[in-house]
Amino acid sequence: MSRTNHDLFARARSLMPGGVNSPVRAFKSVGGEPFFTARADGPFLWDVEGKRYIDYVGSWGPMIVGHNHPQVREAVERAIRDGLSFGTPCPAEVTMAQAIVDLVPSIEMVRMVNSGTEATMSAIRLARGATGRARIVKFEGCYHGHGDAFLVKAGSGALTFGTPTSPGVPKALADLTLTLPYNDFDAATALFDALGGDIAGLIVEPVAGNMNCILPREGYLQHLRALCTQHGALLIFDEVMTGFRVALGGAQAHYGVTPDLTTFGKIIGGGMPVGAYGGSRALMEQIAPTGPIYQAGTLSGNPVAMAAGLAMLELIRAPGFHDELARRTRLLCDGLQAVADGAGVPFSTTRVGAMFGLFFSAERVETFAQAMACDVNAFNTFFHAMLERGVYLAPSAFEAGFLSAAHSGDVIAATLDAARGAFAQVRG
């Protein structure tokens, strides 16, 4: 079988929808063809043709210590010697639960699952079961995985491909999902004033990372907290992206807001397929087998996944880890801004912790509407110009970027060098 990117993609497309197992990977919105990764190490990916890329996607978030970190790899190697899956409780699950409870302010109990999607689906089932209410609230442009209830005005690939509300979600179910504009205080107040008594929970990405990267306005998360408390709805922070990234204790620690339930994925699995959800003991004990709300998983708490996740959490607990990542993210964003300004390209950035957004717009972007108004063609040109120069950004104008501890000053400097040529190309 041929080992060029092009030949692999041609073959893949005949075997899998779009040639991929997750839509954004297909490069459909940026045009062109994806590369196929042969291996990854530190801040780099190498494709099957041997080309090296500086990677700002990091497997879409998990690889916060860089790819193929020896401590994570060795933990996995040790774990697999004892078997791949047991179907009984295993010690690593207890260690993992303890780590999450220790690190995340709002969590007293946790349940492990296999993906972010499972975590969010389970969290809203719990919210509905615990409150006896049916409606949930989400934000336009936020993505919470591909559960039916969330594919209403969704972000990420659903947004990128122009199908934010997916066919296949029954109208009766979609009608139970109410949507709000992110960062709009009054719209949230008005919705709760009208329907607050019917709302089981409000789910939010505390930093919106699936419509590019939009930070909460000052006091906005506190406002959502107050509305939920006032109306007896549960506040659910989807920290699949922000968890253990914007701060060790996630966005809830960074912004000082305590949600009722929190969902995790990505970093918590160290690159293995894992998710989790947690909250107070009183809420979590309503889950089976202590309570009647059912949720289960054949491979949940998998010993190999727990080993990878635990090794990752161990590494990111090092003193100053997140401060250093935030410093380097600032270096990258300020550097890109300076290059764009020098080239005369309208451009702005956002960042929090090791997460950032790049906007082809001169104004500071704080809303979904502003994110939508950015110059997508300019982004697509920039994306390909960077890729050509060996820098891989998320292949969509509506995704956040991620930095890892392996992105050294030299790697960032090389990125800025590439950006000089790329911004010149955007200016035309």
| Catalytic machinery residues | 143, 238, 266
Beta bridge partners of 238: 263
Q: Which residue, 409, 425, 416, is CA-closest to 43? A: 409
Least separation in angstroms between CB 300 and ligand PMP = 14
Least separation in angstroms between CB 244 and ligand PMP = 13
Closest to ligand PMP by CB, 115 or 183 = 115
Percent helix, percent strand, percent coil in the chain, to nearest 5: 45, 15, 40
3-state SS, residue 363: coil
Closest to ligand PMP by CB, 267 or 293 = 267
Closest to ligand PMP by CB, 196 or 249 = 249
Closest to ligand PMP by CB, 207 or 333 = 207
Q: What residue ranges bind ligand PMP (CB under 6 A)?
A: 60, 115-117, 120, 143-145, 156, 205, 209-210, 238, 240-241, 265, 275
Neighbouring residues of 42: CB distance < 8 A, sequence distance ≥ 6: 66, 67, 68, 404, 406
* Block residue for tokens 């690889």: 63
* Block residue for tokens 């007896």: 232
Q: How many residues does the chain have?
A: 428
Least separation in angstroms between CB 345 and ligand PMP = 28
Least separation in angstroms between CB 18 and ligand PMP = 16
Structure tokens at 157: 């690939």
Distance CA 29, CA 19 (A): 14
Orientation of helix 321-343 relative to helix 303-316, angle to 10° = 80
Closest to ligand PMP by CB, 118 or 184 = 118
Residue nearest to ligand PMP as judged by C-beta position:
116
Closest to ligand PMP by CB, 355 or 405 = 355
Is residue 358 a contact partner of residue 349, using CB atoms and an 8 Å limit? yes
Least separation in angstroms between CB 203 and ligand PMP = 9
Is residue 141 a contact partner of residue 314, using CB atoms and an 8 Å limit? no
DSSP one-letter string for 36-91: -EEEEEBTEEEETTS-EEEESSGGGTT-TT-BT-HHHHHHHHHHHTT-S--SS--H
Least separation in angstroms between CB 168 and ligand PMP = 17
Distance CA 237, CA 224 (A): 11
